[in-house]
Structure 1
């Protein structure tokens, strides 16, 4: 979701109390893909080169603290992202893609092993996320998701690493499975504010309210592993995808998650090409333009 920095000034006057003070901040995290295009069969430049990935990490380093990838094997991106991110001093949450095809997980796990064997996997990897809404999509049952998490954790521990392991799911999936909550090292929640912009933070809080209690009871923390607000659309009305609505959501999300001590990952860093739609509504950088640290209003309470 593209961040239009020029709209933040308008957002201050519209959204927050008078007397708010500005503070330069970095985005806690963004979702990244090494895809240039979603048209794999028709685009010879479907995947980014190592040089392009390095350029992306350098560009993002001024604006973000962490990147999250949802697959190791897609475009061989883990092998490209890990050295580039480390060079740019950006932390990485690795992701293994899971689906109804068991070979998918096997391939992702094999790639994880090769990353460790080659020395690319080190302390710059802050977490490993095994799956991204595969249960929500109905592709695997919860029992399989738990098996994948436990198998991946054992695999990592056997190689001498203590990286935390989890699975990213929607709030309802996690909330309705005590076994899944017990299996993960922390709660990784993908949350979408399906409401008017004025109620967006209420929507987010309502979706994770019960999970906050479950997390405290298990002495685990919560990470919003995917969230955002689309910049596409016409007009500035509640519920509309628009740069000003997006700016308001980002500003309020930042303050809300800071207050709760919760990290979030914005969806997403760069949007792959969909036909002629580039850039689209879901990107943080436009045409490789470097964004500075973002200035948002911080209300002093």
Structure 2
């Protein structure tokens, strides 16, 4: 049985917002590994808009890789879409290329396409950086935007909920305008995690993140930046990958998350990945009923 207390607590903490960003995570490559073109990104935006719920925003994983922003931003503007952009932080040359790609997009197109910017993704979970360095990079990207017409654009970081509740990472929370949390009950294989516990485990992870964030930097919003349930892949303890389980997880978790705050589902389409979290098949047809 799902527990409503977690969702109700989040609703209370988010009361006052008139609208929320809701969308999907979208990768920059296609089934054959080639990079998405502007036309491909436009197809993604138009596909999302046609789904039940009329999604208009997406999260991308990088700025320079596969010319993501160079192709996705004009696609967003042509279709009325918006992008939660990302800046990859590992390797200084890569990081500098990411900042340059973001700057180029802002200078050329302004910021009306830009939801916010996530600096790094699960770097703390993978222990690829220090909290101090990541906080510095968040501030660097914010200063870059502020100096180039992007004042007021929120800049934060995306990581697993387990990284956010680690006291070693409080410097990152302090640097963030928003905190993006990723939570996957499917992968919580040291706990009882069948699909009928998915709702509880997910909202527990969000609430745990919010509790820490509110202690460290009160008033900072926690966004759901990744969650989902796979239709194919290995069994993780009691979590079974299947289409019926995705349907249940979507109906219980997605439909509550989209109503209670900014949320980006993982993922729109992921082709032959294993485990496969995409809600669309390779022909861009929904695997499940996406109505809420």
Calculate the TM-score normalised by the size of structure 2: 0.80
Unaligned runs of 5+ in 2: 3-19
25, 30, 41: which one pairs with 1:36? Answer: 30
Measured against aligned partners, the alpha-carbon deviations of 1:140-165 in whole angstroms (never above 9, x if no partner) come to 11111111100000110111212100
Match of 1:3 in 2: none
Pair 273,258 (structure 1): closer, same or farther in 2 beyond 3 Å: closer
Measured against aligned partners, the alpha-carbon deviations of 1:51-94 in whole angstroms (never above 9, x if no partner) come to 22222221122232310001011110111111112222222100
The 5 A counterparts of 1:44-59 are 46-59=34-47
SS of the residue corresponding to residue 86 of structure 2 reads strand
SS of the residue corresponding to residue 125 of structure 2 reads coil
Match of 1:254 in 2: 254
Worse-superposed segment, 70-79 or 200-209: 200-209
- CA separation in 1, counterparts of 2:108 and 2:258? 36
1:75 aligns with 2:66: yes
Q: Kindly indicate whether the alpha-carbon contact (under 8 Å) linking 2:21 and 2:262 is maintained by their aligned counterparts in 1.
A: no
Larger Rg belongs to:
1
Per-residue deviation, 1:288: 4.1
Count of matched residue pairs: 260
- CA separation in 1, counterparts of 2:61 and 2:97? 14
Per-residue deviation, 1:179: 1.7
Q: Kindly indicate whether the alpha-carbon contact (under 8 Å) linking 1:35 and 1:272 is maintained by their aligned counterparts in 2.
A: no
Relative contact order, higher structure (CA 8 A, sep 6+): 1
Per-residue deviation, 1:293: 8.6
The 5 A counterparts of 1:1-301 are 28-37=22-31, 46-63=34-51, 64-99=55-90, 101-119=91-109, 121-161=110-150, 162-175=152-165, 176=167, 177-193=169-185, 194=188, 195-217=193-215, 218-232=218-232, 239-258=239-258, 261-272=260-271, 281-289=276-284, 294-296=290-292
Pair 289,205 (structure 1): closer, same or farther in 2 beyond 3 Å: closer
Pair 116,263 (structure 1): closer, same or farther in 2 beyond 3 Å: closer
Calculate the TM-score normalised by the size of structure 1: 0.78
- CA separation in 2, counterparts of 1:75 and 1:142? 28
